[in-house]
Amino acid sequence: MVGVTDPVVDTRPPTGHAGIVGGVAVVGAVALVVSASALSLALLGALLLTAGTVYGSGRVVGLGALAALGGVAVGAISGVGVVFLLVATAGIVVAWDAARQSLDLAETVGREADSQRALSTHTGVAAGVTSIAAGLGYGIYLVVGDGRPVGALVLLLFGGVLLAAALR
Amino acid sequence: MSLPLTHRNEGRQGMVAAGLALAGVGVLTGRPGLLLASTVPVVLAAHARAATFPSPDLAVERAVSTTTPDREEAVEVTVTVTNEGASTAPDLRFIDGVPTALTVADGTPRHATALRPGESTSFSYAVTAERGHHTFDPLYVVAHDTSGGAARHSEVAVETELECVPPIPPAATLPLRPSAAGITGETVTPEGGAGVAFHTIREYRRGDPLNRIDWHRAARTGDLSTVEYQRERSATVVVVLDAREEGYVASDEHDRTVLERSVEAAGAVYEGRRLVGDRVGVATLSPADCWLAPGTGSGHRARVRSLLATHEALHPLPSDDPFFGVISLSRLRRRLPSDAQVVFCSPLVDDYAARTARRLDAASHPVTVVSPDPTVGTTTGQRLARVERSLRCSTLREAGIPVVDWGDETFQSTVANAVRRWSA
């Protein structure tokens, strides 16, 4: 029966966030255009990622990422080129990360607050990191693409050590 | 929870699983492209894992459109944050410390952005001013690194205060109980003596003033007799407000509490008694101690106005401190001048309030109860509360304590109607 209560904060992300997530996800999905089934699966994933962002549902976002990455796998099996696979994966992963970040932001500051710049900065950095990783990976792939060179083994070991250190 | 605190956000862990799954499918199907693609999510997860806790250096200013608003006036609050550190803060989230008793009327006190070194951001919102003295809490800041993997929560203190002192409401001429004593004033007593209105004629006694001898009668009968007038005395009144947790009930979750009406009634009664020359004091039954001795004059009136608006015992939200009924009542009784009458403003939602009124009355402080009615609704519980309250009112009336039951009308007309009923 106490007088003034906290107004309930709407923790769904602002509508502008869904634009960023949807845009990046569609860029990733379109890279799979060669295979119709992969493209449709990835587009479904992009739609779910966007919808999850609009309604503030982490579960829908997770399902969207699963569907979109499933599209990548289907694309790889049906013979989509390595560059396109990389672009698709990078786009989908960045969109997934942006959706997660959008939900996290909205949980802290709510739907009404202006948080567009925080999300675009975060997404920009994630896209940068992803591009560098994909570029480096593709470079190594080109250099040691065929056969079983010793250099690839050394790099693989080095990468494994780095990975272990990063995930420790 | 003590600030600053740091925590890691494990949100990108799912990406490791996704990467390993892609790699697995790639190995099983013999697609090197998929194996290569699997590194992308793993690298993003590693980026979050490698994150270090940011420690932004922020300067915060908070500006309000007015520091002394009227009640229900919208006060525009603008918060400006500047990044004074040498590095970019990629993800800053702010939650402003709106005082608990105020509600946000427009906009939101939350904001998120990125700030380059030296860059500023500002956001604004409006709060509705409420009676009382309000201090803003520090600005709550959550800073994340570029990956969102590491966060630091901290507070930046900014001193901002609002003080809303409503004027004393129009006077309500609440009559007192007929037993005043003290200096000359306007409270009519049942005794005869010096005054204006005729009371009785009695036999002349030596020493009676000449101007009170009934000379017409003396001429007619030859006997001296003295006219007695109704004696008028100034009373000492203490307005006691029920500001225990029970005094904070409200009809609806979003309504003002009934204490606001008690405060309004107290102000109106004060003004009414002040205008007839009484000495009026203010006290509360509350966890925090509040006592203003009876007095007169414009300085005293200003003190009453400020006390009713900003005293911590009358804060718009109930305090968490415990209330000790027996101690508070005996302290009040020690302080009450022996000839003081009491006007008790209480919603009467529990038996303690009614018992207090009867105890004070029994301790030869004639009590008048002013009770704003908080009961509404038609559910069984609400109806029961209403019946219980009206029973308390009748019990008090049976004990000879007048009760002004204040419903939806203005307080002034409620008092006027009650006075008409009492004198009828």
In this prediction, residue B227 carries a pLDDT of 82
Distance from CA of A9 to the nearest CA of B (A): 9
> Which residues of chain B have a CB within 8 Å of the CB of A162?
46
B241 shares its domain with B229? no
**DSSP per position, A20-49:** HHHHHHHHHHHTTTTSHHHHHHHHHHHHHH
The verdict on B360 and B419 lying in the same domain is yes
Mean pLDDT throughout B221-237? 79
pLDDT at A102: 93
Sheet with B120-128, strands from edge to edge, namely B58-64, B74-83, B120-128, B103-106
Identify whether the C-beta of residue B331 lies closer than 8 Å to the C-beta of residue B313. Answer: no
- For residue A53, the model assigns a pLDDT of 93
Whether B179 is covered by a domain: the verdict is no
Residue B176 lies in a domain: no
Q: Could you tell me what percent of chain B has a pLDDT over 70? A: 94
User: Global pTM?
Assistant: 0.79
**Nearest CA-CA partner of A25 in A65, A81, A76, A77:** A65
pLDDT at B196 over 70: no
pLDDT of residue B182: 46
Q: Nearest-CA residue of chain A relative to B88? A: A121
What pLDDT, on the 0 to 100 scale, is given for residue B191?
58
Strand pairing class (B340-345; B367-372):
parallel
Among B115, B132, B164, residue at a domain's last position? B164
Residue B150 in domain: yes
Cβ distance of A126 and B111 shorter than 8 Å: no
Burial class of B410 by CB neighbour count within 10 A (0 to 12, 13 to 18, 19+)? middle
Establish if B345 belongs to a structural domain: yes
Does B177 reside within a domain? no
Q: What is the CATH number of the domain that holds B130?
A: 2.60.40.10
Q: Is residue B173 included in any domain, yes or no? A: no
Q: Pick the residue from chain B with its C-alpha nearest to A118.
A: B113
Structure confidence by residue, pLDDT tens digits, B274-301: 888 888 999 999 998 899 999 888 999 9
Mean pLDDT calculated for residue range B366-379: 88
Tell which wins on pLDDT, B73 or B11. B73
Query: Do B290 and B213 fall within a single domain?
Result: no
Cβ–Cβ gap A72/B34 under 8 Å = yes
Residue B174 covered by a domain: no
pLDDT of residue A3: 34
Which CATH number belongs to the domain containing residue B323 in this structure? 3.40.50.410
Contacts of B40 in chain A (CB under 8 A): 86, 89-90, 93, 130, 133-134, 137
In this prediction, residue B187 carries a pLDDT of 57
Count up the domains in chain B and report the number: 4
Q: Select from A109, A111, A123, A148 the residue whose CB has the most chain B CBs within 10 Å, as the one to mutate to test that interface.
A: A109
Cβ of A117 within 8 Å of Cβ of B249? The answer is: no
Domain that holds residue B103: 58-164
Residues B203 and B80 in one domain: no
Indicate if B242 and B270 belong to the same structural domain: yes
Final residue before a domain boundary, out of B164, B192, B218: B164
Contact A1 B249 (CB under 8 A): yes
Tell me how far apart the alpha carbons of residues B372 and B267 are, in angstroms, rounded to a whole number. 14
The rounded distance, in Å, linking the Cα atoms of A41 and A47 is: 10
Q: What is the pLDDT of residue B203?
A: 84
Same domain, B419 and B325: yes
Residue B329 falls inside a structural domain: yes
Find the CB nearest A109 among B39, B111, B253. B111
Same domain for B266 and B132: no
Q: Examine the fold and report which residue of B135, B164, B193 is the final residue of a domain before the chain moves on.
A: B164
Q: In this structure, are B192 and B288 located in the same domain? A: no
Are residue B255 and residue B324 in the same domain, yes or no? yes
| Pair B189, B157 in one domain | no
B20, B43, B319: best mutation site toward chain A, by most A Cβ within 10 Å?
B43
Return the residue of A nearest to B17 by Cα.
A66
Distance from CA of B254 to the nearest CA of A (A): 6
Pairs of residues, one from chain A and one from chain B, whose beta carbons lie less than 8 Å apart? 182
User: From B145, which residue of chain A is nearest by alpha-carbon distance?
Assistant: A122
CB contact under 8 A, B111 and A110: no
Q: Do B76 and B135 fall within a single domain? A: yes
Q: Are residues B327 and B244 in the same domain?
A: yes
In chain B, whose CA is at the least distance from the CA of A68?
Answer: B18
